[in-house]
């Protein structure tokens, strides 16, 4: 398994440079296909990348934007990744993009799973995926010790899975490893020394212990202090 590791002088430079790489990759995809899908994480890291990317000059009306994973909470919650997307990415030029939701109002992810997956299926494979990583080596909502970990890592996994894990305060819904790994371009965004060390420690571990390994091959990791 090989991946590129790009180190930046600071987080601001990272955000600007990464946004311009993603915009370039979306433009390239749109030059030979009608529509292109971009999947992005929630959490605390990607906001500044969204702030730069939303102004990119490309034909956003042909871009499908979706989350890599979502917490099963309504958009009124400040834990909602969809809310972050609407506030920071689907604005400015990018407001012309189409959002493929990973949440719909219902008690549990299972209630809406099939409906949400059917809406995403025609947009795969992803043109570009951006992922985060937790200090426990999870990516998207594929957590070590999650109830559906093995299923999410299986090559035959469905596109979407409900997920519950000790480290996640609410039920989640996540793209499977194969849906994420099937992206044409893969980027991982991490900040700080701790995550850099965690990533180094993941080397050689099976994906069941280090889920990040399921999507790292041929990815680019973007790091700033």
> Hey, which residues does 223 pair with through a beta bridge?
7, 190
Query: In terms of CB distance, is 97 or 198 closer to ligand 6PG?
Result: 198
Residue of 140, 175, 212, 224 interacting with ligand 6PG (CB under 6 A): 140
CA distance 210 to 143: 8
Residue 41 sits in the site that holds ligand 6PG (CB under 6 A): yes
> Which region, judged by CB under 6 A, interacts with ligand 6PG, from 56-64, 135-143, 152-160, 202-210?
135-143
Minimal distance, residue 166 CB to ligand 6PG, in Å: 14
Task: Identify the residue among 21, 45, 176, 213 touching ligand 6PG (CB under 6 A).
Answer: 45
- Is 68 a binding residue for ligand 6PG by CB under 6 A? The answer is yes
User: Which residues of this protein are in contact with ligand 6PG, per CB under 6 A?
Assistant: 41-45, 68-69, 71, 81, 132-134, 138-140
């Amino acid at each position: 398994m090989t991946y590129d590791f790009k180190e930046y002088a600071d987080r601001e430079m990272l955000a600007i440079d990464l946004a311009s790489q993603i915009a370039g990759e979306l433009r390239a995809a749109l030059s030979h296909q009608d529509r292109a899908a971009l999947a992005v994480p929630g959490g605390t890291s990607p906001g500044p990348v969204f702030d730069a990317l939303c102004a990119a000059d490309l034909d956003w009306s042909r871009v499908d934007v979706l989350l890599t994973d979502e917490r099963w909470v309504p958009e009124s919650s400040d834990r909602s990744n969809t809310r972050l997307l609407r506030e920071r990415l689907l604005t400015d030029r990018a407001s012309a993009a189409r959002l493929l939701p990973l949440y719909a109002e219902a008690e549990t992810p299972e209630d809406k799973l099939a409906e949400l997956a059917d809406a995403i299926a025609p947009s795969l494979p992803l043109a570009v995926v951006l992922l985060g990583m937790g200090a426990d080596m999870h990516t998207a909502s594929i957590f070590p010790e999650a109830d559906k970990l093995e299923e999410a890592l299986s090559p035959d996994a469905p596109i979407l899975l409900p997920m519950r894990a000790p480290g996640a305060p609410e039920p989640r819904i996540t793209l499977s490893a194969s849906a994420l790994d099937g992206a044409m371009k893969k980027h991982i965004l991490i900040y700080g020394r701790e995550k850099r060390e965690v990533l180094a420690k993941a080397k050689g571990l099976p994906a069941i212990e280090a889920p990040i390994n399921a999507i790292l091959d041929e990815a680019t990791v973007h790091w700033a202090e």
